[in-house]
Amino acid sequence: MDALEIVSNLENVFPYFQPIFSADEQLIIAYEVLGRYQSEDDIISLGPFFHDDQVPDEYKFEVDLLIVHKALEKALELDENISIFLNRNPQILMYENGEPFLEELLAFEKKGFQLKRIVLDISDRNYEGDFDQFDHLLQYYRTYGLKVALSGIERAGHFERIAQIEPDILKINLQLLKSKASGMNFNDVLFTISLLARKIGATLLFEYIEMSYQLQFAWKNGGQYYQGFYLHPPDAHFVARDLLSGRLKEKFHDFITYEKRKLEAVFFTAEFFQAKVQEIVTKNKKLGHEGLFQAIVKEMDEAAFRMYICDEDGFQKSANFFKGKNGWYMQEEYINKNWSWRPYFLENIIKMRNDRKGILSDLYCDIETGETIRTFSFPMSGTEYLFIDISYHYLFEHDQLL
């Protein structure tokens, strides 16, 4: 679609609204505004128009401001608890220092639309302007009660912008979840984003949910808000807030039931390892480290692929006993290495020392093998702690542990 044709026929420009659903209430809590154009044959997205570097900024700003005006005019009929997400291209947001856009919002505030309901949906990955000025403008808008959502954050190298902007909402694009090649990396990045969101007090919004398993993934990974065609496509009209209330409750019930089964499997596995390892250690603790390892292998060869012993400060007191292609062998070079820097290491040591009970870890990626594993840690005595790494093969055979 020719840009000049769009600007010359602004009466054909109008907003579409895609609902955003909440996990806690199972209700619509917001709508994202999307630009559309009525051509002779069809309704087309204005996304290509706004992303075309050849289109002058003044054209984009004129069309954008019209969409904002029409969207807020229609949003006056909404419940006051429902927010409006406005996609903001940083280049356009900085147009004339952001004043015309703010004036438009203030005009609607006079009509009764509270500005705290406005969420500026920002993606600045391709922005080539002055970031300090842009960030200053965002802070200025925030003094009026506007919130900020940051999107396009899933790929590496963008985390510093999260820290700089400190958004209220982080948007996660679930299209990457469909790529098997990026599956593990995506999970690792998402874990980092979740930790960062918790630190800065941001909420996670998962978008582009197109299938049930993506909704389950969003729910499991701390998503409070959900959006996508699987839930509801963009539309020219608003829908009932509780449109999917019953369906989401059923889905969440299924997710909860499934997750409980997995947690119970992890619990019973930990109890099984606790009883098994305690029995082996009690019978063989006088055999020395290698003798103990050999005894464990006789009972747990199908599950374990590495074992070693550390003191409570994380210094390794034994060699690694490792399962290679040709069987088990000792890796003496690991003696005296320190693992206290690993996440949760000292916390788990204190927990084992106080509870006198072993711990089965969460899933994580092993640095050396690159496989997804778990570790069972066991307090042998007041000074020694046994660590048994559980292989991916065993976890796969007991798939509720994955």
List the single range of 121-125, 169-173, 199-203 with lowest mean pLDDT: 121-125
Q: What percent of the chain has pLDDT over 70?
A: 96
Q: What percent of the chain has pLDDT over 90?
A: 81
What is the identity of the amino acid at 355? D
- Predicted local confidence at residue 155, as pLDDT: 60
Instruction: Locate 145 and state its tokens.
Output: 């009660």
- Predicted local confidence at residue 180, as pLDDT: 53
Q: What is the CATH number of domain 3-234?
A: 3.20.20.450
Closest by Cα among 79, 75, 68, 83 to 116:
83
386 bridge partner residues? 309, 378
What torsion, rounded to 10 degrees, do the Cα atoms 219, 225, 231, 232 define? -170
Domains 3-234 and 258-401 share a fold: no
Strands 385-390 vs 304-310: parallel, antiparallel or unpaired = antiparallel
List the single range of 120-129, 281-290, 308-317 with lowest mean pLDDT: 120-129
Structural fold of domain 258-401? Beta-Lactamase (3.30.450)
Tens digit of pLDDT for each residue in 150-162?
998 766 556 778 8
- Predicted local confidence at residue 307, as pLDDT: 98
* 179 — pLDDT class (breaks 50, 70, 90): low
List the single range of 97-111, 156-170, 343-357 with lowest mean pLDDT: 156-170
- Separation between Cα atoms, residue 377 and residue 345, nearest integer Å: 10
Closest by Cα among 172, 163, 164, 149 to 221:
172
Is the pLDDT confidence value at 335 over 90?
A: yes
Whole-Å CA distances, 273 to 179, 181, 358, 359: 35, 33, 8, 9
Is the pLDDT confidence value at 359 over 70?
A: yes
Tens digit of pLDDT for each residue in 252-262?
999 999 999 99
DSSP state of 235: B
- Separation between Cα atoms, residue 153 and residue 169, nearest integer Å: 11
Those residues with Cβ within 8 angstroms of residue 279's Cβ, 6 or more apart along the chain or in another chain? none
- Separation between Cα atoms, residue 327 and residue 344, nearest integer Å: 31
187 bridge partner residues? none
- Predicted local confidence at residue 214, as pLDDT: 94
* Ordered alpha helix ranges (H), 242-364: 245-284, 288-300, 345-355
- Separation between Cα atoms, residue 51 and residue 48, nearest integer Å: 5
List the single range of 180-189, 194-203, 204-213, 318-327 with lowest mean pLDDT: 180-189
Tens digit of pLDDT for each residue in 109-133?
999 999 999 999 998 766 778 888 9
* 175 — pLDDT class (breaks 50, 70, 90): confident
Whole-Å CA distances, 58 to 66, 149, 295: 12, 24, 76
Domain boundaries, the chain: 3-234, 258-401
Mean of pLDDT values over 313-340: 97
Mean of pLDDT values over 170-197: 76
Q: Using a CB cutoff of 8 Å and minimum separation of 24, what contacts does 7-11 make?
A: 7/59, 7/62, 7/63, 10/62, 10/63, 10/66
SS percent in the chain: helix, strand, coil, step 5: 45, 20, 30
- Predicted local confidence at residue 157, as pLDDT: 54
Exposure string of 266-297, with b = 16+ CB inside 10 Å and e = fewer, is beebbeebbebbbebbeebeeeebeebbebbb
Tens digit of pLDDT for each residue in 21-30?
999 999 999 9
Instruction: Locate 115 and state its tokens.
Output: 């500005």
> Average pLDDT, whole number, for the chain?
93
Is the pLDDT confidence value at 171 over 80?
A: yes
Tens digit of pLDDT for each residue in 184-200?
567 777 888 888 888 88
Is the pLDDT confidence value at 165 over 70?
A: yes
- Predicted local confidence at residue 163, as pLDDT: 81
Those residues with Cβ within 8 angstroms of residue 19's Cβ, 6 or more apart along the chain or in another chain? 28, 30, 31, 227, 231, 232, 238, 239, 243
Mean of pLDDT values over 310-329: 96
* 285 — pLDDT class (breaks 50, 70, 90): confident
